Homo-oligomer: A and B are copies of this chain.
Protein backbone atom coordinates (compact mmCIF):
# COMPACT_ATOMS: atom_id res chain seq x y z
CA UNK A 1 0.00 0.00 0.00
CA UNK A 2 1.27 3.40 -0.93
CA UNK A 3 2.71 5.62 1.78
CA UNK A 4 0.58 8.65 2.55
CA UNK A 5 2.29 11.94 1.93
CA UNK A 6 1.53 15.51 3.00
CA UNK A 7 3.06 18.45 1.19
CA UNK A 8 3.14 21.78 3.00
CA UNK A 9 3.60 24.75 0.71
CA UNK A 10 2.18 23.07 -2.36
CA UNK A 11 1.59 26.25 -4.34
CA UNK A 12 5.28 26.88 -5.06
CA UNK A 13 7.46 25.28 -7.70
CA UNK A 14 9.10 22.72 -5.42
CA UNK A 15 5.69 21.73 -4.09
CA UNK A 16 4.38 21.27 -7.61
CA UNK A 17 7.48 19.31 -8.56
CA UNK A 18 6.88 16.95 -5.66
CA UNK A 19 3.36 16.32 -6.94
CA UNK A 20 4.66 15.84 -10.49
CA UNK A 21 7.09 13.17 -9.34
CA UNK A 22 4.69 11.44 -6.98
CA UNK A 23 2.16 11.23 -9.83
CA UNK A 24 4.04 8.26 -11.29
CA UNK A 25 5.65 7.02 -8.07
CA UNK A 26 4.11 3.62 -7.25
CA UNK A 27 4.93 3.77 -3.56
CA UNK A 28 3.64 7.21 -2.62
CA UNK A 29 0.29 8.94 -2.69
CA UNK A 30 -0.58 12.55 -1.99
CA UNK A 31 -2.88 12.60 1.03
CA UNK A 32 -2.79 16.28 1.99
CA UNK A 33 -1.70 19.56 0.45
CA UNK A 34 -1.34 22.90 2.15
CA UNK A 35 -1.12 26.43 0.80
CA UNK A 36 -1.90 29.17 3.20
CA UNK A 37 -3.28 31.93 0.97
CA UNK A 38 -4.71 29.53 -1.59
CA UNK A 39 -6.48 27.23 0.87
CA UNK A 40 -9.75 26.01 -0.55
CA UNK A 41 -8.52 26.00 -4.12
CA UNK A 42 -7.98 22.92 -6.21
CA UNK A 43 -4.38 22.17 -7.12
CA UNK A 44 -5.44 22.26 -10.80
CA UNK A 45 -6.42 25.91 -10.40
CA UNK A 46 -3.02 26.78 -9.02
CA UNK A 47 -1.13 24.51 -11.41
CA UNK A 48 -3.22 23.57 -14.46
CA UNK A 49 -0.50 21.17 -15.56
CA UNK A 50 -1.64 18.86 -12.77
CA UNK A 51 -5.25 18.80 -13.98
CA UNK A 52 -5.14 15.10 -14.84
CA UNK A 53 -4.53 14.08 -11.23
CA UNK A 54 -7.01 13.43 -8.43
CA UNK A 55 -5.57 15.50 -5.62
CA UNK A 56 -6.80 16.71 -2.25
CA UNK A 57 -7.98 20.30 -2.06
CA UNK A 58 -5.46 22.81 -0.70
CA UNK A 59 -5.83 23.33 3.04
CA UNK A 60 -4.36 25.45 5.74
CA UNK A 61 -1.70 23.56 7.68
CA UNK A 62 -3.75 23.59 10.86
CA UNK A 63 -6.59 21.82 9.04
CA UNK A 64 -4.48 18.80 8.18
CA UNK A 65 -4.89 15.62 10.20
CA UNK A 66 -1.36 14.30 10.40
CA UNK A 67 -2.34 11.08 12.15
CA UNK A 68 -2.59 9.11 8.93
CA UNK A 69 0.43 10.71 7.26
CA UNK A 70 3.58 8.65 6.78
CA UNK A 71 5.86 11.49 5.72
CA UNK A 72 5.56 15.23 5.33
CA UNK A 73 7.41 17.35 2.78
CA UNK A 74 7.87 20.92 3.89
CA UNK A 75 8.18 23.22 0.86
CA UNK A 76 7.62 26.40 2.82
CA UNK A 77 9.61 29.63 2.69
CA UNK A 78 12.76 29.91 4.72
CA UNK A 79 12.13 30.88 8.38
CA UNK A 80 8.48 29.82 8.12
CA UNK A 81 9.60 26.24 7.88
CA UNK A 82 11.30 26.05 11.27
CA UNK A 83 8.25 27.46 13.00
CA UNK A 84 5.89 25.04 11.28
CA UNK A 85 8.01 21.95 11.76
CA UNK A 86 8.35 22.73 15.44
CA UNK A 87 4.56 22.37 15.70
CA UNK A 88 4.29 19.07 13.82
CA UNK A 89 3.96 15.75 15.67
CA UNK A 90 7.38 14.75 16.97
CA UNK A 91 7.25 11.29 15.45
CA UNK A 92 6.25 12.46 11.98
CA UNK A 93 8.93 11.91 9.37
CA UNK A 94 9.76 15.20 7.69
CA UNK A 95 11.78 16.20 4.65
CA UNK A 96 12.28 19.94 4.70
CA UNK A 97 13.07 21.67 1.40
CA UNK A 98 13.80 25.08 2.92
CA UNK A 99 17.15 26.41 4.09
CA UNK A 100 16.18 26.16 7.73
CA UNK A 101 17.97 22.99 8.75
CA UNK A 102 20.89 22.89 6.35
CA UNK A 103 23.39 24.48 8.70
CA UNK A 104 24.14 22.54 11.84
CA UNK A 105 25.83 25.39 13.69
CA UNK A 106 23.35 27.97 15.06
CA UNK A 107 26.02 30.67 14.74
CA UNK A 108 26.53 29.83 11.06
CA UNK A 109 22.77 29.93 10.55
CA UNK A 110 22.55 33.35 12.16
CA UNK A 111 25.49 34.63 10.10
CA UNK A 112 24.02 33.60 6.76
CA UNK A 113 20.33 34.10 7.45
CA UNK A 114 20.48 37.21 9.59
CA UNK A 115 18.59 36.08 12.66
CA UNK A 116 18.79 33.42 15.37
CA UNK A 117 17.36 30.02 14.64
CA UNK A 118 13.98 29.48 16.27
CA UNK A 119 14.17 25.70 16.60
CA UNK A 120 17.69 24.90 17.69
CA UNK A 121 16.78 21.47 19.04
CA UNK A 122 15.38 20.40 15.68
CA UNK A 123 18.44 21.82 14.02
CA UNK A 124 20.56 19.32 15.96
CA UNK A 125 18.37 16.46 14.91
CA UNK A 126 18.29 17.28 11.22
CA UNK A 127 20.35 15.24 8.78
CA UNK A 128 21.85 17.02 5.76
CA UNK A 129 20.06 15.64 2.73
CA UNK A 130 22.80 15.15 0.17
CA UNK A 131 21.80 11.55 -0.35
CA UNK A 132 24.94 10.09 -1.83
CA UNK A 133 27.01 11.35 1.09
CA UNK A 134 24.59 10.89 4.00
CA UNK A 135 22.71 7.77 2.95
CA UNK A 136 22.99 5.86 6.22
CA UNK A 137 22.05 8.82 8.36
CA UNK A 138 19.08 9.59 6.10
CA UNK A 139 17.79 6.01 6.34
CA UNK A 140 17.64 6.44 10.10
CA UNK A 141 16.52 10.07 10.19
CA UNK A 142 13.22 11.58 11.25
CA UNK A 143 14.03 15.04 9.91
CA UNK A 144 16.05 15.54 6.74
CA UNK A 145 17.11 18.97 5.52
CA UNK A 146 17.12 19.31 1.74
CA UNK A 147 20.26 20.96 0.45
CA UNK A 148 20.42 24.20 -1.49
CA UNK A 149 20.14 23.51 -5.21
CA UNK A 150 23.35 25.38 -5.98
CA UNK A 151 24.96 23.77 -2.96
CA UNK A 152 24.08 20.31 -4.26
CA UNK A 153 25.50 21.04 -7.71
CA UNK A 154 28.77 22.36 -6.38
CA UNK A 155 29.17 19.52 -3.93
CA UNK A 156 28.64 16.84 -6.55
CA UNK A 157 31.53 18.37 -8.48
CA UNK A 158 33.90 19.14 -5.63
CA UNK A 159 33.24 16.86 -2.69
CA UNK A 160 34.79 13.68 -4.08
CA UNK A 161 37.88 15.66 -5.03
CA UNK A 162 38.34 16.78 -1.44
CA UNK A 163 37.71 13.25 -0.21
CA UNK A 164 40.28 11.89 -2.62
CA UNK A 165 42.82 14.60 -1.90
CA UNK A 166 43.38 15.39 -5.56
CA UNK A 167 42.93 19.17 -5.55
CA UNK A 168 44.39 22.19 -3.81
CA UNK A 169 41.85 23.11 -1.13
CA UNK A 170 42.69 26.80 -1.22
CA UNK A 171 42.17 27.27 -4.93
CA UNK A 172 38.60 26.38 -5.74
CA UNK A 173 36.49 28.76 -7.82
CA UNK A 174 32.89 27.93 -8.57
CA UNK A 175 31.25 29.91 -11.36
CA UNK A 176 27.63 28.82 -11.41
CA UNK A 177 24.84 29.31 -13.92
CA UNK A 178 21.37 28.95 -12.36
CA UNK A 179 17.99 28.59 -14.04
CA UNK A 180 15.34 30.95 -12.80
CA UNK A 181 12.93 28.50 -11.20
CA UNK A 182 15.42 28.26 -8.36
CA UNK A 183 14.25 31.72 -7.33
CA UNK A 184 10.76 30.38 -6.78
CA UNK A 185 7.39 31.77 -7.71
CA UNK A 186 7.84 35.07 -5.92
CA UNK A 187 6.81 38.33 -7.53
CA UNK A 188 10.04 40.20 -8.13
CA UNK A 189 10.75 42.60 -10.94
CA UNK A 190 13.98 40.87 -11.90
CA UNK A 191 12.14 37.58 -12.39
CA UNK A 192 9.73 38.93 -14.99
CA UNK A 193 10.10 37.51 -18.48
CA UNK A 194 10.69 40.96 -19.89
CA UNK A 195 13.57 41.54 -17.48
CA UNK A 196 15.17 38.14 -17.45
CA UNK A 197 14.92 36.62 -20.90
CA UNK A 198 17.54 37.26 -23.51
CA UNK A 199 20.52 37.91 -21.27
CA UNK A 200 22.46 37.07 -18.14
CA UNK A 201 24.05 38.70 -15.12
CA UNK A 202 25.78 37.65 -11.92
CA UNK A 203 24.12 38.01 -8.53
CA UNK A 204 25.23 37.62 -4.92
CA UNK A 205 28.72 37.82 -6.35
CA UNK A 206 31.95 37.53 -4.48
CA UNK A 207 30.80 35.50 -1.54
CA UNK A 208 27.39 36.87 -0.66
CA UNK A 209 25.28 33.85 -1.57
CA UNK A 210 23.82 31.93 1.35
CA UNK A 211 24.67 28.55 -0.10
CA UNK A 212 28.26 29.34 0.82
CA UNK A 213 27.25 28.45 4.36
CA UNK A 214 26.63 24.92 3.16
CA UNK A 215 29.82 24.75 1.14
CA UNK A 216 31.88 25.94 4.10
CA UNK A 217 30.20 23.49 6.46
CA UNK A 218 30.44 20.46 4.23
CA UNK A 219 33.80 20.98 2.58
CA UNK A 220 35.47 21.81 5.87
CA UNK A 221 33.96 18.71 7.42
CA UNK A 222 35.18 16.48 4.63
CA UNK A 223 38.63 18.05 4.57
CA UNK A 224 39.04 18.11 8.32
CA UNK A 225 40.18 21.73 8.07
CA UNK A 226 38.57 24.99 6.94
CA UNK A 227 37.85 25.14 3.24
CA UNK A 228 36.47 28.32 1.75
CA UNK A 229 35.73 28.46 -1.93
CA UNK A 230 34.94 31.36 -4.24
CA UNK A 231 31.39 31.16 -5.52
CA UNK A 232 29.53 33.48 -7.86
CA UNK A 233 26.21 32.51 -9.43
CA UNK A 234 24.69 33.92 -12.61
CA UNK A 235 20.99 34.08 -13.37
CA UNK A 236 20.16 32.26 -16.58
CA UNK A 237 17.30 32.90 -18.99
CA UNK A 238 15.91 29.38 -18.71
CA UNK A 239 13.69 27.68 -16.21
CA UNK A 240 15.36 24.46 -15.17
CA UNK A 241 18.95 23.55 -14.69
CA UNK A 242 22.14 24.53 -12.94
CA UNK A 243 25.59 24.33 -14.48
CA UNK A 244 28.53 24.52 -12.11
CA UNK A 245 31.89 25.32 -13.70
CA UNK A 246 34.60 24.65 -11.15
CA UNK A 247 38.18 25.80 -11.59
CA UNK A 248 40.57 23.67 -9.56
CA UNK A 249 44.26 22.85 -9.23
CA UNK A 250 45.10 19.22 -9.72
CA UNK A 251 45.66 16.56 -12.32
CA UNK A 252 42.70 16.20 -14.66
CA UNK A 253 43.08 12.43 -14.94
CA UNK A 254 43.22 12.00 -11.18
CA UNK A 255 40.23 14.26 -10.80
CA UNK A 256 38.24 12.35 -13.37
CA UNK A 257 39.13 9.10 -11.68
CA UNK A 258 38.11 10.43 -8.28
CA UNK A 259 34.67 11.34 -9.61
CA UNK A 260 34.26 8.14 -11.62
CA UNK A 261 35.27 5.98 -8.65
CA UNK A 262 33.12 7.80 -6.17
CA UNK A 263 30.00 7.66 -8.31
CA UNK A 264 30.54 4.27 -9.95
CA UNK A 265 27.57 2.73 -8.14
CA UNK A 266 25.38 5.76 -7.86
CA UNK A 267 22.18 5.43 -9.91
CA UNK A 268 21.73 9.15 -10.56
CA UNK A 269 25.30 10.36 -11.08
CA UNK A 270 26.86 9.98 -14.47
CA UNK A 271 30.49 10.90 -15.08
CA UNK A 272 31.06 11.59 -18.78
CA UNK A 273 34.15 10.30 -20.59
CA UNK A 274 37.24 12.52 -20.11
CA UNK A 275 37.09 15.69 -22.21
CA UNK A 276 33.31 15.61 -22.56
CA UNK A 277 31.33 18.21 -20.62
CA UNK A 278 27.70 18.30 -19.58
CA UNK A 279 24.82 20.50 -20.69
CA UNK A 280 21.86 21.38 -18.52
CA UNK A 281 19.63 20.32 -21.41
CA UNK A 282 20.68 16.72 -20.94
CA UNK A 283 19.35 16.45 -17.41
CA UNK A 284 16.37 18.83 -17.38
CA UNK A 285 13.24 17.30 -15.90
CA UNK A 286 15.14 14.40 -14.33
CA UNK A 287 16.93 13.37 -11.16
CA UNK A 288 20.22 12.76 -12.96
CA UNK A 289 23.50 14.62 -12.55
CA UNK A 290 26.05 14.80 -15.34
CA UNK A 291 29.69 15.51 -14.55
CA UNK A 292 32.72 16.12 -16.75
CA UNK A 293 36.36 17.05 -16.46
CA UNK A 294 38.88 18.71 -18.77
CA UNK A 295 42.44 19.65 -18.14
CA UNK A 296 43.32 23.26 -18.74
CA UNK A 297 46.12 24.31 -21.07
CA UNK A 298 47.87 25.63 -17.95
CA UNK A 299 49.57 22.64 -16.35
CA UNK A 300 48.16 21.46 -13.08
CA UNK A 301 44.79 23.07 -13.57
CA UNK A 302 41.50 21.48 -14.45
CA UNK A 303 37.87 22.33 -14.93
CA UNK A 304 35.08 20.25 -13.47
CA UNK A 305 31.54 20.80 -14.68
CA UNK A 306 28.36 19.48 -13.09
CA UNK A 307 24.78 19.83 -14.30
CA UNK A 308 21.52 19.01 -12.58
CA UNK A 309 17.91 20.13 -12.56
CA UNK A 310 17.45 22.48 -9.62
CA UNK A 311 13.79 21.48 -9.14
CA UNK A 312 14.41 17.75 -9.39
CA UNK A 313 17.82 16.57 -8.16
CA UNK A 314 18.42 20.01 -6.66
CA UNK A 315 15.32 19.91 -4.46
CA UNK A 316 12.14 17.88 -4.98
CA UNK A 317 13.72 14.85 -6.60
CA UNK A 318 16.35 14.79 -3.89
CA UNK A 319 13.57 15.09 -1.33
CA UNK A 320 11.78 12.06 -2.72
CA UNK A 321 15.02 10.12 -2.95
CA UNK A 322 15.52 10.81 0.75
CA UNK A 323 11.90 10.00 1.52
CA UNK A 324 12.28 6.66 -0.24
CA UNK A 325 15.15 5.85 2.11
CA UNK A 326 13.30 7.07 5.19
CA UNK A 327 10.24 4.99 4.29
CA UNK A 328 12.12 1.83 3.42
CA UNK A 329 11.31 2.05 -0.29
CA UNK A 330 13.80 1.43 -3.08
CA UNK A 331 15.91 4.57 -3.37
CA UNK A 332 15.29 5.14 -7.08
CA UNK A 333 11.54 4.42 -7.02
CA UNK A 334 9.60 7.00 -9.00
CA UNK A 335 12.76 8.85 -9.93
CA UNK A 336 13.99 7.12 -13.08
CA UNK A 337 12.06 9.48 -15.40
CA UNK A 338 14.26 10.32 -18.37
CA UNK A 339 15.21 13.96 -18.97
CA UNK A 340 13.04 15.89 -21.40
CA UNK A 341 14.83 16.93 -24.58
CA UNK A 342 14.43 19.06 -26.60
CB within 8 Å of B: which residues of A?
A: 13, 16, 19-21, 23-24, 47-53, 173, 175, 177, 180-181, 183, 185, 187-189, 191-203, 205-208, 212, 228, 230, 232, 234, 236-241, 243, 245, 247, 268, 270, 272, 277-286, 288, 290, 294-298, 301-303, 305, 307, 336-342
Contact = CB atoms under 8 A, between A and B. Distances in A.
Contacts of A199: 238, 241, 279-281, 284
A92 B238 CA distance: 43
A197 B187 contact: no
Given A194-B180, A201-B279, A277-B202, A52 B230 contact: no
Contact of A230 (B19, B23, B185, B247): B247
A208 B183 CA distance: 33
Contacts of A283: 49
Contact of A234 (B52, B177, B270, B285): B177
B23 A336 contact: yes
B13 A290 contact: no
B239 A194 contact: yes
B234 A237 contact: no
Nearest to A205: B294
A230 B298 contact: yes
Contact of A194 (B13, B205, B277, B285): B13
Given A194-B191, A303-B205, A338 B239 contact: no
Nearest to A309: B340
Contacts of A191: 192-194
For the complex of A and B, list the 7 residue pairs with the smallest distance between their C-beta atoms, beginning with the closest: A207-B297, A201-B279, A199-B281, A199-B280, A194-B342, A206-B294, A187-B187
A174 B288 CA distance: 28
A21 B24 CA distance: 13
Contacts of A13: 194, 342
A201 B239 contact: no
Contacts of A194: 13, 180-181, 183, 185, 191, 239, 342
